[in-house]
Amino acid sequence: MPTYDFLCRKCEHRFSRFVSLSNKDKVSCPRCGENDIEQLFTAFNYRISGGSSGRSAVSSGGSCSRSSCSTCAGC
């Protein structure tokens, strides 16, 4: 199940929820209970594993210069 980030338009509370795509419109603010929320667009993480080298790459949606990325360790 994916994680979505939301912003309450009433109290401006930011929060994340694990929610199915079909229930995304039924989320309410955990702070004030308001249903007037906005889904925020955020970067996502993914992992690619495999290949003969046994290396894996991780991306958080940012930029990676390969030579200086501590997350990828020179992948």
Domain positions in the chain:
3-40
Q: What is the reported pLDDT for 41?
A: 87
Q: What is the reported pLDDT for 7?
A: 97
Q: What is the reported pLDDT for 10?
A: 97
Residue type for position 51: G
Q: What is the reported pLDDT for 57?
A: 45
Question: Does the global pTM surpass 0.85?
Answer: no
Distance CA(38)–CA(15), nearest Å, equals: 11
Q: Please identify every stretch of the chain with a pLDDT value under 70, giving residue numbers as ranges.
A: 44-75
Q: What is the reported pLDDT for 51?
A: 53
Give me the residue label for tokens 């930011």: 14
Q: How far apart, in Å, are the Cα atoms of 4 and each of 19, 23, 25, 27, 42? A: 7, 11, 11, 10, 8
